[in-house]
Amino acid sequence: MKLNTRQVVVSGLLVALTLVMGMTGIGFIPVPTPAGAATLMHLPVELAGMLEGPLVGSFVGLIFGLFTLRFLGDPRVVIPARLFIGVVSFLVYRACGRKAWGIPIAAAAGSITNTVGTLGLAVAFGYIPLAGKEGALAIALLQGVPEAIVAAVVLTPIVLAVGKLQRRWPDAARANQAKAKRA
């Protein structure tokens, strides 16, 4: 699959945002739950999937996964779910006809993919139990649900704004080409 220039630029911007969020701590908010931190790092991944498709979403998700290796060094747990966040967000958004009402659904679906996938793999590889006050189910309820809500609330206006700008870009490009020909 070939990427166009816009996809490469958007990938670079969202990877940079992911790295800044991770290095500054903005992407991991300390909370008094068994996991210890809520994440916002999935937001650029979901945004990448909805705006530029599954390949760009997977790439940004890979960077998110690689970054989180420093917290839990097992790539079998931290990378697979992150690869699918953007893919699921893209597929859900597309299934909703790329309508405004589909944005929060796609954002929440991407967030849930991160939560279920990562916690499911952590349980499968014996890092955490499924049940109990420090188990995957407790973490999913205490953190996963709020993270999905935050994703829906934060990403909806961003995707709407970027979509509005994208519809204007072809007109702006044609106007610039016409100016260049006249000069």
Strands 37-39 and 28-30: antiparallel
Calculate the average pLDDT of the chain: 89
Model pLDDT, residue 3? 85
Q: Residue 173 above 60 pLDDT?
A: no
Which of 122, 103, 6, 4 is closest to 46 using CA atoms?
103
Model pLDDT, residue 174? 60
Q: 19-23, 126-130, 135-139, 174-178: lowest mean pLDDT where? A: 174-178
Q: How confident is the model at residue 71 (pLDDT cuts 50, 70, 90)?
A: confident
Model pLDDT, residue 88? 98
Assigned CATH topology for domain 5-172: Arp2/3 complex 21 kDa subunit ARPC3 (1.10.1760)
Q: Mean pLDDT throughout 112-132?
A: 94
Q: Both tokens of residue 18?
A: 């992911």
- pTM, two decimal places: 0.87
Q: How confident is the model at residue 85 (pLDDT cuts 50, 70, 90)?
A: very high
Identity of the amino acid at 64: F
